[in-house]
Structure 1
Amino acid sequence: MTDSIPKVANLKNQWLSQHVDVQYPTQESLAGRKLYLSSVEKRSIQPFTLTKEDNGFISADDIFLVDFHRLTVMFALLQSKRWTESSEQELIVEFLTQIIYSEPCELYIGFTEGEPTAAAIVTRADRAILISDIITTSEDVQQSAKRFAASLLHKLDINLDEYSDAYLEI
């Protein structure tokens, strides 16, 4: 775990936050942002490396860039599973469905047998990469997060050696 928040993680949080910085945001999306940002403070960010033994659990063909609204909704619904209260889940969905596709972040969703089972955000800036907001339907959060990150890197044909800093947020 890092002692301070890496610049790339702050960039991701700012990117997400700015999607509700509009003239007439809904109260629900603002409450969802507050809830989301509060949860980020409890997550750990650690340097990320992969070994040859690290392999993904979702085929690259079953991982999709979230680039239209239906996938955004699926992404938001998966992310909302982090919260146990349905009222909080609704706020998170309201917040995350405001996302407009733009750099430096990309959202991805993975499917198993046609069902959404994993999602994450990939942020790249200044030779740093962060794989964050990893959610899977697996019980083993830490291991499944790393395995989905490996699946994503394979899908995107990313070599971590090309980055000066690589992080995983769990």
Structure 2
Amino acid sequence: MASIEYKSKKIETRRGDISHQPDLEAIVNAANAMLLPGSGVAGAIHSAAGNQLAEECRHLAPISPGQAVITSGYNLPNRYVIHTLGPVFGRDKPEAEILANCYKNSLTLCTQKKIRSIGFPAISTGVFGYPVEEAAQIAIRTIKETIDSNPIYPEHIVIVLFTAKDKEIHDLVLKKIF
């Protein structure tokens, strides 16, 4: 696990399943526009949360790339799920700005709800095809910029990576940016 302290915030990377993070108040779903269960992160979160999550999501969809909405966590160990729609690499433009907005808008919801801890997956790097290193740079730079402009919430930010290779890339970027 790579971990740093910055302006009284803890930012870390860890390897694991985003739907199994009991120490975090909120987790982020790399959602599809209709907020439906799918594969990857969305599938794992919906499966662990139960049918009530899909029912609540039905009333919030569709969302646009970069937008973030919040629901209850239901059967997850987390109080909240923040759903954000990342860009499809090579299709949704400007993709870097849209990806940054996923992180900014999710962190804004943390401030609004006074959420103290949040876990992010590597948004858009799965079936949406965003190159992992480029996505990591955007994610971590955006997290740093958001902390610089918002000194209150959240206090603990975790990037939860499913593969060892993705974690290794994020660890290097974390050390480089901070």
TM class, shorter-length: 0.3 to 0.5
Give TM-score, length-normalised by structure 2.
Answer: 0.34
Give TM-score, length-normalised by structure 1.
Answer: 0.35
